[in-house]
Structure 1
Amino acid sequence: MDGGSSLNIMYAPTLELMGIGLDKLRPSKSPFHGVAPGKRVQPLGQIDLPVCFGTAANFRKEVLTFEVVGFRGSYHAILGRPCYAKFMAVPNYTYLKLKMPGPKGVITIGSSFEHAYECDVECVERAEAQAEDEALAATLDKMASEALDSTHRHAGSFEPAEGIKRVPLDPSHSDDKALQISATLDDK
Structure 2
Amino acid sequence: METKTEETKTDQKRRAIRQAAADCFARYGYDKTTLDDIGKVIRLNKASLYYYYKNKEELFIDVVLQESAAFMTDLMTKVATIDDPAEQISTYLTERLRYYKQVLNLHSLSIENLQTLEPQFEQLYTSVLQQELDFLETLMRKAIPPSEDARQLASLLLNVADALKHKAVRDAGFGPTHAIDYSEVEHETRLLTKLILQGVNA
TM range (shorter): under 0.3
More helix by share: 2
More strand by share: 1
TM-score after normalising by structure 1: 0.23
TM-score after normalising by structure 2: 0.22
If you compute each CA radius of gyration, which structure gives the higher value, 1 or 2?
Answer: 1
